Amino acid sequence: MSNFSVGFRSSGPVTILDLNGELDAHTASELEAAIQRCKDDQHVKIVVNGDQLQYISSAGLGVFMAYIEEVREAGGDIKIASLQPKVFNVFDLLGFPMLFDIVDQEAEAVSKFESHPGAQPGNGSES
């Protein structure tokens, strides 16, 4: 059975979700509930830290796609940080870097909210 957990932390106005384990069809509802909780609490500046994320399936990726538009419409964004190379490759193969800010370090993701609060990937540089 898959093991997965989501931890919540704050860095100023930014909510950090720490993903741990394997995000698949059986555990995607936990990430969905975490993002919904952020939205319900009006915390729409979200950084997903994937440092401890071992695996992601299409169901896990679908959660990001399901919420990104709603979060952006509420004035926020979902930024992704610290992915392990094999997990980043899954995001990359499916074109997620064109839709999401995906950065190497959590601090960089948090600082993007401070320096460019409304900036979204793809704006002005689409090919």
Residue ranges per structural domain of the chain: 4-110
What is the per-residue pLDDT for 125? 35
Q: Which residue has the higher pLDDT, 127 or 3?
A: 3
What is the per-residue pLDDT for 2? 60
Cα distance between residue 39 and residue 52, in whole Å: 23
Sheet holding 101-103, edge to edge: 4-11, 14-23, 45-56, 77-81, 101-103
- 29-61 pLDDT tens trace: 999 999 999 999 999 999 999 999 999 999 999
State the pairing for strand pair 4-11/14-23: antiparallel
User: What is the pTM assigned to this prediction?
Assistant: 0.89
Give the 3-state secondary structure of residue 112. Answer: helix
* Closest C-alpha among 96, 72, 71 to residue 83: 96
The CATH number, out of the four listed (3.30.750.24, 1.10.10.520, 3.90.1150.10, 2.60.90.10), of the domain defined by the range 4-110: 3.30.750.24
Q: Which residue has the higher pLDDT, 98 or 114?
A: 98
Question: ∠37-16-45 over CA atoms, to 5°?
Answer: 70
Is a pLDDT exceeding 80 seen at residue 120? Answer: no
Is a pLDDT exceeding 60 seen at residue 119? Answer: no
- 60-99 pLDDT tens trace: 999 999 999 999 999 999 999 999 999 999 999 999 999 9
